[in-house]
Amino acid sequence: MSEKRKPSFTILLKNQGKSKSNKMELFDKRLFEEFKYMDGVWRLRINGKWYPKDKVHFYTSNEVRNMFWRYITGRTNVGKY
């Protein structure tokens, strides 16, 4: 069954000169009934796969910003399984 929830934000990253792009999708916690009382957090899907892949985890806006920055500067393995 495909995912019925729609992302609140989608960030498409493409490194100049490389053909592969990476898609980071942020889902508001209110889309997940069991976590609806958590405030200001996001669940991530990177290149169509939930991150991290083995558990449900929510990130604050600051954590998403830091992860994004590390990703574009090549200092992380986010999205690589």
What are 3-26's pLDDT values in tens digits? 788 999 999 887 777 667 889 999
Could you report the per-residue pLDDT of 29-75, keeping only the tens digit for each?
A: 888 877 666 778 899 999 999 998 888 899 999 999 888 888 777 76
- Reference 23, options 48, 58, 50, 60; nearest CA is 48
Tell me the whole-structure pTM to 2 decimals. 0.77
Is 29 a domain residue?
A: yes
Is 38 a domain residue?
A: yes
Is 80 a domain residue?
A: no
| pLDDT number for residue 7 | 95
Domain that holds residue 37: 9-72
Joined tokens for residue 80: 């690589």
**HSE-CB for 37 with a 13 A CA cutoff:** 1
Is 39 a domain residue?
A: yes
